[in-house]
Structure 1
């Protein structure tokens, strides 16, 4: 039986919403008018919630209250981004948190346009075979090829940037506790999220290692006060112990 295309279009529509709403919110933010554009912030995460919910359902199926399903769900990165989108949507705006979702949606939207929109506007040409008949192999339009090349050439670099931004989000959430801009729940939840990303994403591991080298470069300087060195050592030891338990491998399927 053929699968209904409607969930796929709803998934794409969610990513379109992320892009458009985030664009207007970022535009307002850089002009110091974001307070009046909170609705766009919420709308952007609402689009992310819709898209991730569809992917999670496709990957995991209907929700089941059994241990195996819960383990799979907790180890699935789409579920993790879905839960974080819910948390950001229901919390006070933290603009930096919107950046990873914007980047993911940009790549998904471009891919959807290439595979679903461009062929409708510019149908692929059927090159003639040796006997003059149409060959079953079709060629992409130049626009589709350009999009595909750009996505392929920029994906890894974009994911590396996102991984570093996600570390900055945790730092911003920790600072937000001191400045009373967010609750203690935000950095705790995001720390658990990053712990999972560290195990499953080479980009996150690279970002963490780079950040560790940078921090230790300054901590290990001679002029650094001993209490800072001790505090850093204790914190690092605590983080290593907390993150030492391996998570279950996540199920295969569509990602983000």
Structure 2
């Protein structure tokens, strides 16, 4: 049976999902979205992430071992990032990964917790066996499973695009110069922890490399790209001792 904490966790996802969709829709239609929806989205994220981080890590401990374990946890990383976005100048695109995560968590919560309370179970698969889930619940489960990998790839590419956005935004004074530094470190962590992120970065790098080494590209661009590749290689050269986990992070991260 779901606990109060579980309902609060799900409530955070639902708040995030509704608020983010409202903000992104206004932004995508060239309207001026209220920052209230943006802040509400990340407040919902903080609620959900805080709960799952507390459950997985326990109460904070004043020692280096606990801090290392916490910083290597992807839910903690998304929690810290959510707090950073909440306290920084709004970047609408930053909401998209959290929105996708919350969509999958909200759908799973609906299937496993809400639907059994309102929909009658199906007949047992075998005589005397346990009842099967309602057909609607089965369809929802199939949809989540079949679309999960594609959604995570969208998230990975979106996070790369967000990095490009905040780098350009820093030079255009649309966000602080601290933003791309912090977000680049986050992407570095994701590179070592997430297969989806790693594959996306490799794919994007290959595309840029193909363009930069084209026959009609000026030598200065080729040299600049080679320098960028060298810097990125040195920057990501240290392997992080963090577990790889491809299941959706329980708070709403990947």
TM over 0.5: yes
Tell me, yes or no, if structure 1 residue 154 matches structure 2 residue 151: no
**Per the alignment, do residues 251 and 63 of structure 1 end up closer, same or farther by CA in structure 2, a change over 3 Å counting?**
farther
The corresponding residue for 2:32 is 34
Q: Equivalents in 2 of 1:89, 1:107: separation in Å? A: 22
- 1-side partners of 2:168 and 2:125: how far apart? 63
> Mean alpha-carbon deviation: is it higher for 227-236 or for 174-183?
227-236
The count of corresponding residues between Structure 1 and Structure 2 is 249
Q: Could you list the per-position Cα deviations for residues 116-169 of structure 1 after superposition, in whole angstroms to 9, with x for gaps in the alignment?
A: 010001132453964xxxx35220001100110000000000000110000000
Is 1:213 aligned with 2:206?
Answer: yes
C-alpha deviation, 1:208, in angstroms? 0.4
Name 1:77's counterpart in structure 2: 74
Q: Which residue of 1 aligns with 2:63?
A: 66
Secondary structure of 1:34's counterpart equals coil
Query: Is 76-85 or 119-128 further displaced after alignment?
Result: 119-128
CA drift of 1:238 comes to 1.1
Q: What is the TM-score with the length of structure 2 in the denominator?
A: 0.93
| Structure 2 unaligned residues grouped into runs of 5+ | none
- Do structure 1's residue 99 and structure 2's residue 92 form an aligned pair? no
The answer to whether the aligner puts 1:184 opposite 2:177 as a matched pair is yes
1:224 shift after superposition: 1.4
Question: 1:98-137 counterparts in 2 under 5 A?
Answer: 98-125=95-122, 127=124, 130=127, 135-137=128-130
Distance between the aligned counterparts of 1:232 and 1:84, measured in 2? 28
Residues 251 and 30 (structure 1), Cα distance of their counterparts in 2 relative to 1, 3 Å cut: closer
Q: Kindly state the Cα deviation for residue 220 of structure 1 after the two structures are TM-superposed.
A: 0.2
* Contact 1:14/1:50 (<8 A) preserved: yes
Change (3 A) 1:141 1:207: same
